[in-house]
Chain A
Amino acid sequence: MLGFLIRRIIQSVFVMLAVALIAFMMFRFMGDPVNSMVAETATTEERDAVRERLGLDQPLYVQYGRFVARAATGDFGLSWRNARPVSTLLAERFPATAELVLVAAGLSLVLGIPLGILTALRPHSFSTQALQLMSLVGISLPTFVTGILLILVFSVWLGWLPSFGRGTVVDVGWWSTGFLTLSGLKALILPSVMLCLFQLTLIMRLVRAEMMEVLRTDYIKFAKARGLTNRSIHFHHALKNTLIPVITIFGLQLGGLIAFAIITETVFQWPGMGALFIQAVSFGDVPVMAAYLVLVSLIFVIINTTVDLLYAVLDPRLRVEGARAAH
């Protein structure tokens, strides 16, 4: 176990170094932010002076080396857009993204699993057909279109929910939360629905497929033969085995939620890390882009490691094999 963790930590360092390297290779094709930073009337010399101060005149490997050396000491520098420390910016934005992703992930599980079971147990009912059709829509509509539609219906036509922002937030230490105010909770609804839609349909379809598969297996037939109630068979015996692949997919998709949050945050002006990243891209703010990408790759590594660990906990077969290999 400990060896596994240490291996993972070393791997994650290499993953982050590689991500940063790829990021810096891409930044070369992004142009530079100097035109946004100097006056329109600034002379060529003034522009060059700014480039020099930012180190943009240096070759790629020097810029990358500087970034890594400073990042190793925890210093990600100042944002070129608003002259604030990148680490402060990310820390400020993290709660917004975390709350959004958390709610969206929760929604997709809480709704997706029961709906999946429902459609698996009653494969021919009208509600199943309707849900299947809707899930097809949910999976194929681009998320920004769903977002704009939600805004149109619930903000512009009905006027029930805010179209942008987080509402009133409360600072709990350094964490700014929207969970404690009514406007904060209302503001969460549309973005989290938009963000969870894809996950929700995915989980529903996955649970349905797995459940139907499991219900055909021999041990379920035996359970039926033993005279167990349907309820016990479905929810005790069948569901347990259905959930193992669901957890893997859900874990992997959690990273996807953070990535998709970029679009949701842009549509709803949600002040999270994704919106920060998009602004950095449109400005050419290299320190923020690099730090964000490194941070997201770290989050991915953590999630994947957790999923691997959970998998071993949930599936006894893996534990046994692991134990045998160790002896």
Chain B
Amino acid sequence: MLRHLMMTAAAATLFATGASAETLRFATARDVYGLDPHAVTDSFTNIFTHHLYEPLVRYDADLKIEPALATSWEVIEPTRVRFTLREGVTFHGGEAFGADDVQVSLMRAVDPKSPLRGNLPGLKAVEIVDDLTVDLILEGPTPLLNNYLTNIFILDKGWLEANNAVAPIDASQGEEGYTTNNANGTGPFKLESRRPDALNVLVANDAWWDTPVHNLTRIEHTPIGSDATRVAALLSGEIDLIEPAPLQDANRIEAADGVRMLQNPGLRSIMMGINMGDSLVDGNVDGNPLKDIRVRQALYHAINMDLIRDRIMRGKSRVTGSLIAPEVNGYTEAMDARLPYDPERAKALLAEAGYPNGFAFNLNCPNDRYVNDEGICQAMAAMLAQAGLEPRLVTEPRQMHFQKVDNRQVDVFMLGWATLPMLDGFSVLSAMLATPGGEYGTFTPAGYSNPRVDELTKAVATEVDPEKRNAMMIEALMLAKDDIAWLPLHQQPLSWAARDTVEVPQAADDLVRLWYARVTK
């Protein structure tokens, strides 16, 4: 009898260690910037902190909005939206979740000093109705409120106050914030330890309010900057999941035993902006030929995107004529039609516009921001040269590139846009197509201004009827398409790799949501 008991006990121990061994070892190209969810806007940092902290509403594995810390919401007036909060939720430290936490957290995120402010525009105040009900007071009708809220995480008020961290972190003032290295959220995982740039350890939160889909007990996250080392660590069995997996190693990973590539078209659309200002930054002709629609069409006809897909993107990109991906609100199939590759037509159009011998201009690209960005631009430069143009290729690290883009010191320049975090065409209209001024037109190419697009953008911002709103977005995006305000290229592929024992959904936004991951034996 005793012996039997002992054997049962031994079996139970074995079983227990078996279950507790569900550790996922996860490597990414870089570390999270910090753990304070209101201090950085970097999307990788945000999704990492999403394992610890939660928003009122969240995206599920198919990028549909679902309730999280709020169970329901109701528009009481256009500028007042009431959220009912989930009952019985506790923070990792044991504190109860309630309306005051929501109030403090949202106001902390929109503080004038918070870098996250732009992710939740138009929030004026949060009023507490009762312990589990809050009203969000808005400046105007905000059709995308829930999309914005998916990215704003809730912290505990008492914990923030106790650690003197109610004010947002400001890297320009020399004080280190408590929240940078410590975390106390309501999320599916708890922080066990953190060694910046070496190892972050998360453990499952057994007291999580939601029924976990995942079966993980522990996540060990290691940043590995070098692509080759990251792949080697996967192949050698030291790591279970890597993001990103370099495209050029795809064949090698597929050929290896026990590991596989995870590849899908992503949300991020890559496009070329075109300077339509009065002069070129680096040209050899008077004025700016790119202002002429025929010249822009010539550029479009000159680029062979299928070849770029096959040779540079290893067949994994989705060539597109649209500025937004099909998953994004505001997309229609008509947007995907491209001007065909036709170098003869390109030459004819250039001649017609008065530039039979072409002209010189800058072709600006980053070399460390998008998938194979430099390779795409080198190929494109060759194609444009074949059409008789004289592109002067400039490839630079991202800080250089985007500083020039900000200052409009570019002629034809690369930009990628994923409409994150709102997943809505309005993001393209407001940031990339509207005439610059106020909160609009941060990336709009120099000289581009279409009054009808501006009018529609303003209307879309406040229109709450989804159908009307969509129709307006489509009209505006089609107008911009005909103007060739941007020259669309492709949607870049998502490229992760994992051991065969790991199952993880790959959403188009390229964010790794490990609360949906399962490890099998």
Contact = CB atoms under 8 A, between A and B. Distances in A.
Interface of A: 29-47, 50, 53-55, 75, 77-85, 88-89, 92, 148, 151-152, 155-156, 159, 162-166, 266-269, 271, 275-276, 278-279, 282-284
Contact of A83 (B180, B406, B418): B180
A31 B397 contact: yes
A78 B176 contact: yes
Given A40-B420, A269-B222, 11 more contacts: A31-B396, A31-B401, A32-B399, A35-B399, A37-B41, A42-B41, A47-B406, A84-B34, A88-B176, A165-B199, A269-B198
Given A43-B118, A55-B172, A165-B222, A82 B34 contact: yes
Contacts of B199: 165
B400 A84 contact: no
A40 B428 CA distance: 11
B416 to A, nearest CB: 9
Interface stretch (B13-21, B234-242, B276-284, B485-493): B234-242
B166 to A, nearest CB: 16
A256 B188 CA distance: 46
Interface stretch (B47-55, B305-313, B430-438): B430-438
Interface in B384-419: 396-404, 406, 417-418
B176 A31 contact: no
A278 B225 CA distance: 10
27 contacts: A31-B396, A31-B400, A31-B403, A35-B398, A36-B42, A38-B115, A40-B431, A41-B118, A47-B442, A80-B172, A82-B180, A82-B196, A83-B176, A83-B180, A84-B180, A151-B228, A155-B233, A159-B236, A164-B222, A165-B222, A166-B198, A266-B225, A267-B226, A267-B228, A269-B197, A269-B226, A284-B399
A66 to B, nearest CB: 11
A90 to B, nearest CB: 12
Interface residues on B, range: 35 or more
A35 B198 contact: no
Contact of B117 (A46, A159, A162, A284): A46
A261 to B, nearest CB: 14
A152 B235 CA distance: 10
Given A40-B41, A151-B228, A271-B195, A162 B398 contact: no
A261 B226 CA distance: 14
B119 A41 contact: yes
Contact of A80 (B171, B233, B396, B397): B171
Chain B interface mostly: loop
B247 interface: no
Most chain-B CB neighbours within 10 Å: which of A77, A78, A152, A155?
A78
Contacts of B39: 83
A157 B18 CA distance: 27
Interface of B: 27, 30-31, 33-34, 36, 39-42, 115-119, 169-177, 180-181, 195-199, 222-226, 228-230, 232-233, 235-238, 368, 396-404, 406, 417-418, 420, 422, 427, 430-431, 436, 438-442
A39 B228 contact: no
Contacts, number: 176
A151 to B, nearest CB: 5
A269 B223 contact: yes
Contacts of A39: 41, 115-116, 118-119
Contact of B236 (A33, A43, A155, A275): A155
Nearest to A92: B196
Contacts of A35: 398-399, 402-403, 406
A39 B396 CA distance: 21
B236 A31 contact: no
Nearest to A54: B172
A31 B402 contact: yes
B152 to A, nearest CB: 12
Contacts of A41: 118-119, 422, 427, 430-431, 442
A261 B115 CA distance: 34
8 tightest A-B contacts by CB? A31-B399, A31-B400, A39-B41, A35-B402, A284-B399, A53-B172, A31-B403, A271-B198
B367 to A, nearest CB: 11
A282 B36 contact: no
Contacts of B27: 164
A271 B197 contact: yes
B195 A152 contact: no
Given A40-B420, A163-B232, A84 B222 contact: no
Contacts of B403: 31-32, 34-35
B33 to A, nearest CB: 5
A78 B171 contact: yes
Contacts of B401: 31
A166 B197 CA distance: 11
Nearest to A30: B399
Contacts of A84: 34, 176, 180-181, 196
A33 B176 contact: no
A8 B40 CA distance: 43
B242 to A, nearest CB: 11
Contact of A75 (B171, B174, B396): B174
Contacts of B222: 164-165, 269
A85 B174 contact: yes
B102 to A, nearest CB: 21
Nearest to B430: A41
A53 B112 CA distance: 12
Contacts of A85: 174, 176
B397 A163 contact: no
Given A35-B399, A38-B118, A83 B33 contact: yes
A109 to B, nearest CB: 28
Contact of A266 (B115, B226, B420, B438): B226
A180 B36 CA distance: 33
Contact of B233 (A31, A75, A164, A279): A164
Contacts of A92: 196
A75 B175 CA distance: 11
A195 to B, nearest CB: 15
B69 to A, nearest CB: 22
A27 to B, nearest CB: 10
Given A164-B224, A269-B224, A282 B397 contact: yes
Contacts of A79: 171
Contacts of A88: 176
A26 B436 CA distance: 31
Nearest to A168: B199
A29 B417 CA distance: 26
A83 B229 contact: no
B118 A46 contact: yes
Given A83-B177, A148-B228, A269-B223, A164 B406 contact: no
B457 to A, nearest CB: 13
B229 A268 contact: yes
A44 B181 contact: no
B147 to A, nearest CB: 11
